[in-house]
Amino acid sequence: MLMKRSQQEMADIFKAQYVSLHVRKSNRAAFHLYTKTLKYEVHDIEKGYYANGEDAYDMRCYFRRDKSDTGDKEDKGDENDSKNDITISNDPAAQDTTITIQQGLKNITLEVSET
């Protein structure tokens, strides 16, 4: 699955600790996909997040890392790790998902359309 592969790359290449996204509280299908299939957790609820005033679940998927995989970077607290930002936005009406990965000055955007 594309989402699982992109999460693996975020963890491996960018050393991300987690990825976050927002889901409409009314979007039960997306909520089920992210919580059951992709193992996201609700981090917070953002009141009035959407233009129509609907609340959103702020969700995160934390990546597990073995110390042997991260080497000394994790133990020393590599300052570049804190500059990584990963955002996933999902537009169910357009059936599009956009994944944006920013590491320092580098920016990668993936756009996925479901047809």
Question: What is the per-residue DSSP string for 6-35?
Answer: HHHHHHHHH--SEEEEEEETT-HHHHHIII
Number of domains in the chain: 1
Provide the residue range defining the domain that includes 86.
2-113
pLDDT tens for 26-76 read: 999 999 999 998 889 999 999 999 999 999 999 998 887 554 444 444 444
Give per-residue pLDDT as tens, 10-30: 888 888 888 889 999 999 999
Residue 6 clears pLDDT 90, i.e. is over it = no
- Residues 89-105: pLDDT tens digits? 666 665 666 676 666 66
Instruction: Give the residue-averaged pLDDT of 79-84.
Output: 50
